[in-house]
A and B are shown apart, each in its own frame.
Chain A
Amino acid sequence: MRNSTKRNTVPSLAVIVGLSLFITGCSGGGAAETAEEPTEESSEQPAVRGDEDLIIWADPVRIEYIKEIADTFAQENGITVGVQGIVNTRADFITANSAGNGPDVIAGAHDWIGQLVQNGAVEPLQLTPDDLAGYSLTAVQASTYEDQLYALPYAVESVALYCNTEYAPGTYASIEDVIAASQPAVDAGTLDVPLILQQGELGDAYHMQPLFTSGGGYVFGRDAEGNYDPTDLGLNKPESIAAAQKIASLGETGANTIRRSISGDNYLSLFTEGRAGCMVSGPWALPDVKKALGENYSIQPVPGFAGMQPAQPFMGSQGFMVASNGKNKTFAQEFVTNGVNSEESMTQLFELSNQPPAMVSVREGITDEDVLALATAADQGAPMPAIPAMAEVFAPLGQAWSAIIGGADPTETMNQTHETIAQAIAG
């Protein structure tokens, strides 16, 4: 009995293995080939540099205009340039750079710099004060980390106040005025909410920052040169708690303007469908707003609370950085410190990207009021801290805002959040 079972098993086993061999590659050679290629790939990084004389990595949404400016540089220097769109630019760059197959130049946001420096992935740029005088001060401060300049800024961004002029036609001096403008339409049932400030269930510290700073609160203190100090965490200071109380008064148990049900998923559709008076958002919302509302919108810096500090949103700066482990460092340095560092290149970059330029003189020729308003808003902001400790802040502070607008006690919540973040920073 046992024997006969075995006799049956052996050929069928061979058939199964043979079949699986067939499926995996039709023949022994084929199967081995498929096995081999992945070995080679797994030893490499997911993103791999090309063969050109100068390789630039950037977010795919930015490569079109970077490619143009890079082509100009390539022609002037008689070299070839490759601009590659990398979805996960920062993380892929850190991995690829340390493995020695990264790009020569990386285009990215200034708040990456802390992590990039921590990984030794970028090199400082040596530019004279004269060179930098043409750029907006906040953009230069943002690109400077531990007293060294790491990025050449080309565009700035921060949140601003978009208003649907049908309901909120004015220019507003305070957030209370903004809300008052379209509150009647909300009461009448034509609008869902007077002001959109996206938070969601997990909260959003980035979008809350203008109101937090207007109330007097701060995340990290700054020294005389504008460097952020990770040891000076300010969330439990009386001013910060007062700001939190002010925010709570606009929350679900107060005016019910700032709600957890408005999140990054639905803020834009609410505004473009004409269901809100105003919205706090950044330049990325502009194309959709323009498409949906035509002429019926206005942009202005986010105002603060009446009679309190001016609102200071987190400001971001897009710039070019030189990779520490790039193959063609000479061309990389030349491109960043000389190629794009001119009014001509910066003007070209603006015309192609339509993003608020970091170079002040470029702004003089701009007639587009939206861009000018977004640039003003960004100049009024404070650079988003690039220090690695900042990454410990976003999630807990966002959760604190979510709890506070949901009705939690502001004092207790801010004290707890301060404690949690301080512990996380201390490791």
Chain B
Amino acid sequence: MEQRVASRAGRGDPAGTGGGSGGVAGTLVKVVALGTIVGLAVMLTPALVGTQQWAFLIVLWGIVAVLAVTYATRRFVPAKYLVPGTLLLVLFVVYPILMTFQLSTTNYGDGTRTTKEVTISRIIGSAAQQVEGARTFELSVGSEGTATSGPYTFLLMDTGTGDIFAGTPDGIRELDPDTITVEDGVITAAEGYTLLDRRQVNELSQQGGELEGFAVPTEDGVITAQGFSAVELSSPLEYDETTDTITNVNTGAKYTPVQSGDRKYFTNADGERLSDQSWGENVGLDNYVRAFTDPRISSDFVGIFAWTLAFAVLSVGTTFVLGLFLATVLNDARVRGQRAYRSILLLPYAIPGFIALLIWSSFFNSEFGLINNMLNLDINWLGNPFWAKVAVLLANLWLGFPYMFLVCTGALQAIPADLKEAASLDGATGWTNFRKITFPLLLVAIAPLLVSSFAFNFNNFNAIFLLTEGGPFSPDNPTAGGTDILISYTYRLAFGGAEQQIGFASAISVVLFVLTGVLAAIQFRATRTLEEVG
């Protein structure tokens, strides 16, 4: 069926203008555009290969192939219209959703960003300390061949005694000072060695370079470079792969991975952690299980969900009523200076929401705020859970009504005047006219916008976070505040504490995504009946 429609669309385009297949200029544009795309892809390929991003590489060339096949041939005319939109949809909507879901099955976050191997080497490396009476050295690097070939040697001058040594991964030996030239406390030449300049040393020490991890063993530990100095270090920790144990050779303490929450830590028999570093793992659906079973979440969930719904419904309701009222009043031809009024009413829409919300937050200050001072009130707007909710709704009303005013004005002007006239001739009063004619027709146009406005306010993080940060809180429950909606609440759960729990936050996002989707679907179903009226 789709095929038929598609082919018909193709035939319905005899001049071929849409596909750009007619005329020399069209062909030229097409060739240049496709050439640019292929050129870009070729340009990006080495970088992607270099960083081993195979998935991106495949996707990149997949996109190029699809574009080339679609636009270089004449076979897929309907696809020429559909491909760009579909590509954008996949890249910006489908791909992020899939990525979020994939993340939600891991424990990714603070302390779990690295693999286990990297974590172990970091734990052991950062335990290395200077041994008692450790020596420090001025470091120059010499090569027995050319500067780029090696083998390389650390030429070390003891900063205490001035003795000079040659250190290699095999060990350290003292050098005859007569074979060495020292200038300004730095070795500048040595017989039998080509000295490297600082930039060369830096380059060879980079990842994969020959000096990366270069260590000279000594009796007490190893000498490693630190900039253009060298220090003698020893780490008390050793890792044994077969038993998966890190042992502190000084104290004899043994640390093995022990599960704690969604991750493992190296822990000893007394339950003491060796380090706060853990590593990334797949945890399956654990994050979802936690979202639904964590007592902290479930005890607050019902109240917060109810307020989230109330907030979204009331925000949409109040802004719509006020916006519609103002639009209707200003739509009357008898009003003078319509344009001026409309411009002024749109002002809140022109001020960035971020700034407006912060200003409103200071308006609500109980002692120094504009509202209490001007109206001579003594309301603790942001400290009392009830008034804080009112404050949030008021500020959101101010922010949101211009939008409703705008769309209602547009919709009102689109309603044919003869309908009203006819109703008036039949004896309808202004109110009946509005109720029976104007409003139903208006709703047809506005209802989808109300639904999207609801979905927006359902997740209106800014309005809550910039005004009240979810507060006020009671001391016995610092995780759920008086004005918290689901998104601000979960943001605090995932990012407010000690650790960024990105995996868990992703799981919550997926749940919220499904929830908002279901609510929107129900509402669209409900508004469909309105369209029948039209």
Residues of A within 8 A of B (CB): 6, 10-11, 13-14, 17-18, 20-21, 24-25, 27-33, 35-36, 38-40, 43, 53, 77-79, 91, 94, 98, 100, 114-115, 117-120, 123-126, 128, 146-148, 192, 201-202, 259-263, 265-266, 270, 324, 327-338, 388-392, 395-396, 399-400, 402-403, 406, 408, 413, 416-417, 420, 424-425, 427
Contacts and interface: CB of A to CB of B under 8 A. Distances in A.
B475 A338 contact: no
B44 A40 contact: yes
Contacts, number: 245
A25 B83 CA distance: 13
B498 A391 contact: yes
Contacts of A399: 471, 473-475, 478
Given A265-B362, A416-B476, A118 B226 contact: no
A279 to B, nearest CB: 15
Contact of B478 (A24, A114, A420): A420
Contact of B53 (A6, A43, A146, A148): A43
Contacts of B231: 126
Nearest to B19: A28
B202 A11 contact: no
B202 A126 contact: no
A128 B136 contact: yes
A27 B29 contact: yes
A335 B368 contact: no
B227 A337 contact: yes
Given A10-B8, A33-B37, A123 B125 contact: yes
Nearest to B34: A29
B110 interface: yes
Contact of A201 (B36, B114, B198, B383): B383
A18 B275 CA distance: 58
19 contacts: A20-B85, A32-B37, A36-B60, A38-B92, A39-B63, A94-B113, A119-B114, A120-B122, A124-B128, A147-B129, A148-B127, A201-B383, A202-B472, A261-B367, A265-B361, A391-B497, A395-B492, A420-B478, A427-B260
Contacts of B82: 17
B498 A117 contact: no
Contacts of B321: none
A263 B110 CA distance: 30
Given A10-B5, A148-B129, A266-B365, A330 B37 contact: no
B462 interface: no
B499 interface: yes
B30 interface: yes
B16 interface: no
Nearest to A97: B113
B33 interface: yes
A411 B129 CA distance: 44
Nearest to A420: B478
B277 A120 contact: yes
A35 B87 contact: yes
B368 A266 contact: yes
Contact of B277 (A117, A126, A416, A417): A117
Nearest to B233: A126
Contact of B498 (A53, A389, A403, A416): A389
A120 B280 CA distance: 13
Given A98-B113, A261-B365, A117 B63 contact: no
Contacts of B477: 420
B519 interface: no
A79 B197 CA distance: 11
Given A266-B362, A391-B497, A399-B473, A330 B33 contact: no
B33 A27 contact: yes
Contacts of A147: 129
A134 to B, nearest CB: 16
B257 to A, nearest CB: 16
Q: Which residue among A40, A202, A388 has the maximum number of chain B CB atoms within 10 Å of its CB?
A: A202
Contact of B110 (A14, A21, A115): A115
B526 to A, nearest CB: 25
A334 B111 contact: no
A338 B227 CA distance: 8
Give the interface centre of A29, A32, A78, A262 by most chain B CB atoms within 10 Å. Answer: A32
Contacts of A390: 498
B122 to A, nearest CB: 4
Contacts of A100: 51
Contact of B36 (A14, A33, A263, A332): A33
A324 B207 CA distance: 11
B498 A39 contact: no
B130 A10 contact: no
A119 to B, nearest CB: 5
Nearest to A325: B207
Contacts of A30: 33
Given A329-B206, A330-B227, A403-B475, A31 B361 contact: no
A146 B276 CA distance: 11
B238 interface: no
B469 interface: yes
Given A20-B85, A420-B476, A337 B366 contact: no
A128 B130 contact: yes
Contacts of B190: none
Contact of A17 (B81, B113, B475): B81
Interface string B268-280: 0000000111000
A17 B86 CA distance: 11
Given A98-B114, A261-B368, A328 B206 contact: yes
Contacts of A324: 122
Contacts of A262: 367
Among B32, B82, B368, the one with the most A-chain Cβ atoms within 10 Å of its Cβ is B368
Contact of B226 (A20, A126, A146): A126
Interface in B1-59: 5, 8-9, 12-13, 18, 20, 29-30, 32-34, 36-37, 40-41, 44, 51, 53, 56, 59
Interface centre among B84, B130, B469 (most CB of A within 10 A): B84
A259 B170 CA distance: 68
A57 B232 CA distance: 29
Interface string B61-101: 00100010011000000101111110110011000000000
Q: Which 6 A-B pairs have the closest CB atoms?
A: A29-B33, A334-B227, A261-B367, A333-B227, A31-B84, A17-B81
B182 interface: no
Given A77-B198, A98-B113, A261 B228 contact: no
B117 to A, nearest CB: 12
A235 B525 CA distance: 54
B59 A39 contact: yes
B20 A118 contact: no
A330 B9 contact: no
Nearest to A391: B498
B85 A27 contact: no
B352 interface: no
A10 B136 contact: no
A100 B67 CA distance: 32
A417 B201 CA distance: 54
B192 interface: no
A388 B469 contact: no
Contacts of A201: 382-383, 468, 471-472
B529 interface: no
A117 B498 CA distance: 13
Interface string B176-204: 00000000000000000000001101100
A424 to B, nearest CB: 6
Nearest to A34: B88
A39 B60 contact: yes
Nearest to A114: B276
Nearest to B502: A95
Interface in B485-499: 492, 496-499
